Amino acid sequence: MADESSRMIEPVILLGPPGAGKGTQAKRIAQRYNIPQISTGDILRQNVKAGTPLGRAAKEVMERGQLVPDELVCPMVADRIRDVDCQRGFILDGFPRTAAQAGWLDAYLENEFFDNSHGCNRLPIVIRLEVDYNELLRRLTGRRSCPTCGRIYNVHLQPPKVDECCDIDGSKLVIRDDDREEVILERLREFDSQTRPVAEYYQAKGRLKTVNGDLPPDEVTGQIFWIIDNHGDNHG
Ligand code: AP5
């Protein structure tokens, strides 16, 4: 098999509700295949923090747990995947999140991205993480993250070695603004109404792979690596 950290990889799309483990798994995929994790949530949060026009437009919507309009998110993704570090492949974490975003992405990849010699034309690998509703609540209320390196912890399930401190760099862990219970419930409602149709969109095209995200993180990772390693037979 070709070296996983240097071969061409089809774009990887991680679908799943808030708390499904998209960010956790995206970081592991990024490390193994040496491709960037593109988290639309992280990019939006950075814009909010920096007070950019995009961040100002997104702030209140995000605080309510609702989705930022497609017309703001799609150009943001287009900008990011044009960067040179995406030429060998990239992971989309949190995108697409509406049927309109999924349709836009297919058209963009086919007509502009791959057409402009970003590697060969390959359909994305779409992986859905399925997790029980009560488990999602437990994960989101216990989540902590490192503001320095981005590593994700969970006070119930994956605690750091020292309370509230990052194992890697010792930074004090933080709670995300939208991990308050009433906002979590709204994010889960948004997922049901807006993002479930995205899985149906890919299912109808025969491109959806589902992984049991209730399993421990290492087992979920093993299944995801298997799907990526066995996707198609041309490893470039
Ligand atoms: P975003 O940042 O994308 O958040 P999300 O989709 O709500 O997902 P999360 O980051 O909460 O969960 P995750 O699946 O990454 O789980 P994690 O790995 O952290 O979006 C935030 C907001 O931005 C949206 O509400 C919206 O406003 C806006 N936005 C973003 N993208 C948009 C788009 N495309 N269009 C419009 N608006 C957009 O894990 C969760 C916890 O569980 C952690 O504590 C972790 O340690 C633990 N855990 C993970 N896996 C396991 C496991 N297998 N077993 C046990 N514990 C586990």
How would DSSP label each residue in the chain? ---TTTS----EEEE--TTSSHHHHHHHHHHHHT--EEEHHHHHHHHHHHT-HHHHHHHHHHHHTPPPPHHHHHHHHHHHHTSGGGTT--EEES---SHHHHHHHHHHIIIIIGGGTSSS--PPEEEEEE--HHHHHHHHHHEEE-TTT--EEETTTB--SSTTB-TTT-PBPB--TT-SHHHHHHHHHHIIIIIHHHHHHHHHTT-EEEEETTS-HHHHHHHHHHHHHTSSS---
Query: What is the structure's pLDDT at 117?
Result: 58
| Average pLDDT of the segment spanning 33-48 | 96
- Mutation test residue for ligand 1: of 157, 190, 215, the one with most atoms within 8 Å of CB: 157
What pLDDT is attached to residue 120? 52
Burial of 123 by CB count in 10 Å (0-12 exposed, 13-18 middle, 19+ buried)? middle
Distance 53 CA to ligand 1 centre (A): 23
168 has a pLDDT exceeding 90: yes
Does residue 149 register a pLDDT over 50?
yes
pLDDT, residue 17, reads 97
- The pLDDT > 70 percentage for the chain reads 94
CATH of domain 12-35+88-235: 3.40.50.300
pLDDT digits (tens, 9 = 90+) for 12-34: 999 999 999 999 999 999 999 99
Q: Is the distance from the beta carbon of residue 221 to the nearest atom of ligand 1 less than 6 Å? A: no
Ligand 1 atom, smallest distance to 40 CA: 31
Q: Which of 13, 37, 44, 76 has most ligand 1 atoms within 8 Å of its beta carbon, as the pocket-test mutant?
A: 44
Q: Name the closest-CA residue to atom 12, ligand 1.
A: 19
- What pLDDT does 235 receive? 41
pLDDT at 113: 74
Average model confidence (pLDDT) across the chain:
92
pLDDT recorded at residue 234: 43
Kindly state the average pLDDT of the residues 67-89.
95
State yes or no: pLDDT of 236 exceeds 60. no
Quick: pLDDT tens for 93-143.
Answer: 999 999 999 999 999 998 877 766 555 557 899 999 999 999 999 999 999
Region of poorest pLDDT, from 97-101, 130-134, 184-188, 229-233? 229-233
